[in-house]
Amino acid sequence: MRNPTWANVATGVIFVFNSAVHAQVNRHLIVRVFDYVNLSVADRHEMTDTAERVLRSAGIPIVFVECYTRGAETGVEECIRESGAADVFLRIFHPKMARKGEQLGHAAMMPEGGAYVTVFINPEQQRARLGGLTNGVFVGYAVAHEIGHLLLGANSHSSAGIMRPVWRTVDEVWMVKRALAFDSGESRRMQKTVVARLTR
């Protein structure tokens, strides 16, 4: 969840958000999921469902596609086609792979296009401090946070909500209530980024 150090993070990805542009271009942000820690089926589903719900509530439609899990590629057609600017590659790694200063993950744009989001989780340990908050839901919020960095750009941490640099126990309470979210200003900024890319 550290600030990305790359520049112009939001200028190379093509997205579609709500009805303002949906009628013109029927596209979604496509996230290819590569699970290298063998999350349970329940945790993977909770992760993608949570991230999708949070981002859609901010006006960003999104589709998750499982491409690698349980030590093997899934062979899904969407995973083997050539990647484009609208693709995000989500990698789930063990925390031992994290660099110093990284809390839950990081996000980066590639010079050739496309984007990478990485989150860290040990499926054998409860990551959240709050009982009743599953790893799947917790990591789903982390995924939404990192995708937020891709759309909001560098220095996009905030003092409250999903874009806080470090989550507190009270933030986890909001996760359980399904209420931790992007604020209205963040949502508008993300939507403007999407529209600018689609209409330029």
Reading the chain (200 residues) residue by residue, the pLDDT tens digits are 544 433 333 333 333 334 443 333 346 778 999 999 999 999 999 999 999 999 999 998 889 999 999 999 999 999 998 887 678 899 999 999 888 767 789 998 776 556 899 999 999 988 888 888 999 999 999 999 999 998 898 789 999 999 999 999 999 999 999 999 999 999 999 887 766 554 44
Q: Is residue 9 situated within a structural domain?
A: no
Q: Which pLDDT score is estimated for 22?
A: 39
Q: Is residue 13 situated within a structural domain?
A: no
Q: What are phi and psi of 68, to 5 degrees?
A: -150, 125
Of 35, 50, 72, the closest CA to residue 147 belongs to 50
Q: Is residue 41 situated within a structural domain?
A: yes
Q: What are phi and psi of 64, to 5 degrees?
A: -100, 135
Structural domains in the chain (count): 1
Q: Is residue 196 situated within a structural domain?
A: no
Q: Which pLDDT score is estimated for 39?
A: 95
CATH number for 66 = 3.40.390
Other beta carbons within 10 angstroms of residue 46's beta carbon come to: 19
Q: Is residue 193 situated within a structural domain?
A: no
Question: What Cα–Cα distance (Å) separates residue 179 from each residue in 27, 44, 54, 92, 173?
Answer: 27, 20, 9, 24, 9
pTM given for the model? 0.83
Residues spanned by the domain of 142: 19-186
In angstroms, the CA 150 to CA 13 distance is: 8
Q: Which pLDDT score is estimated for 12?
A: 34
Question: What Cα–Cα distance (Å) separates residue 113 from each residue in 39, 82, 87, 107?
Answer: 28, 12, 9, 13
Q: Is residue 146 situated within a structural domain?
A: yes
